[in-house]
Structure 1
Amino acid sequence: MSYILNIETATKNCSVALAKDGKTVLCKEIAEEGYSHAERLHVFIEEIINEAGIQMKDLAAIAVSQGPGSYTGLRIGVSAAKGLCYALNIPLIAVDTLQALASKVTITEGLIVPMIDARRMEVYSAVFSAALEKKREVLAEVIDEDSFKDFAEKLYFIGDCNEKCKIVLAKENFIFLDEIKYPSANEMSSLSFDKYKKSDTVDVAYFEPYYLKDFLITTSKNKKAE
């Protein structure tokens, strides 16, 4: 029996889930405009451990969403995960944020395109099969009418930038699932357990989140480079 604590803070959703052998036991989360991760994260962790009737020493590993996503959100989640791993002397597991988001979709055909909002028309995205196999690597990209034009299959778009993207992504095979907005620690449970069974862990001392942020440097006529 393996308990894994899953932490997801890459977006506005601050989410924590306790899983036993890959199945979520408890999950607490809240998505707020003001990014309340610093205030909520440790409270959620403490509440989940207490409500589950276990102790921190019962945890076999800590899993954290590795990004891409919010710089501040990722730092908070990774710092908390590292601290717990050091204190408990247990392994750290890094889970692809976009894969966790894609895990919210159940389809039998077509492809899943999870996207996380950056700003303006910029997003972090990847493409997954119905079986969650990665068909296109994670990219930081500016969305326009030609984005994803090489895919003939049905594409199911999910994430927190659907509203702005559907304005330009108007092809017949593009389907927007607006109800699926943020990644959650709940979907990390099976992904982290699969990695745990394979001893697919990261170095606690040297692990850094996957920010994928450099492409956001822009210039304008009236402003210096941001």
Structure 2
Amino acid sequence: MATILQIETATQVCSVALSVDGQTTYLKEIAAQNIHASSLTLFIQDVMQRSGLDFNALDAVAVSKGPGSYTGLRIGVSTAKGLCFALDKSLIAVDTLKMMASGFIKQHAGYTGLVCPMIDARRMEVFTALYSVNLDCVLPVEAKIVDEQSYRHELHQDITFIGDGAMKCADILAHNHAHFNSDNFNSAGAMSQLAFDAFQLQRFEDLAYFEPFYLKDFMITQPKKKI
């Protein structure tokens, strides 16, 4: 039996879950700006208290590795690594976009199209990839500027676009085979099966060297000069 604590902080959603053998048993999450630093450890404590388990009962800690928000990922990964160091537990890293696609597929049994998770970057740019219903990668993870020609080759079949970057692209991607779902799939509960699969394969990260998958370098914006 594998009991795994799961952390997702790649977007504005702060999410913590506990799973047993790939099934989510407890979940706490909220979507709001700039709450990860103040809320993440409280959410972890709440989930563990409701489960009635001691932290030492965990078999591993899983974290959403990105791409996504630089600050959110840094907070999530540093918290996960800290727990693993303190408890002498293994760290599992789950691809954020694949996690989102997995969450959608689990909720939509019988869907036969492709799934395109999108995380809002800025302007018309998104972090994205394209997956089949078997979670095979059709198009690799990339930082993509979306325009009228995006996905035109793939839209010979149904594609459902999900995530906080999808809705801003709805007008520009309008097509008979393009569908948009605004539900939240940036949830720690959506990584349960992926984390369990990694646990069974003993696919663990090196605590000393693991870093989030930022995809793009962190950009520091210079403040405007006051006149």
So what's the TM-score if we normalise by structure 1? 0.92
Partner of 1:177: 181
Identity %: 51
Correspondence list, 1:125-140, <5 A: 125-140=128-143
Contiguous gaps of at least 5 residues in structure 1: none
CA distance, structure 2, for counterparts of residue 217 and residue 71 of structure 1: 11
Q: Is the 8 A contact 1:13 1:182 kept in 2?
A: no
Cα shift readout 1:36-80 (whole Å, capped 9, x = no counterpart): 001110001111111111100000000000000000000000000
CA distance, structure 1, for counterparts of residue 12 and residue 220 of structure 2: 22
- Structure 1 residue 108: deviation in Å? 2.9
Q: Does 1:146 align with 2:149?
A: yes
Partner of 2:27: 27
User: Secondary structure at 2:59's aligned position in 1?
Assistant: strand
4+ residue segments displaced more than 3 Å: 214-218
- Structure 1 residue 182: deviation in Å? 4.2
How many pairs align?
217
Partner of 1:211: 214
Correspondence list, 1:1-226, <5 A: 1-32=1-32, 34-105=33-104, 106=108, 107-151=110-154, 152-178=156-182, 180-214=183-217
So what's the TM-score if we normalise by structure 2? 0.91
CA distance, structure 2, for counterparts of residue 217 and residue 110 of structure 1: 39
Contiguous gaps of at least 5 residues in structure 2: none
CA distance, structure 2, for counterparts of residue 215 and residue 47 of structure 1: 32
Cα shift readout 1:156-207 (whole Å, capped 9, x = no counterpart): 00011233201210122111112x2441000111110010000011111100
Moved more, 129-138 or 99-108: 99-108
CA distance, structure 2, for counterparts of residue 201 and residue 66 of structure 1: 13
- Structure 1 residue 215: deviation in Å? 9.8
Supply the AA of the counterpart residue of 2:136: E
CA distance, structure 1, for counterparts of residue 220 and residue 13 of structure 2: 25
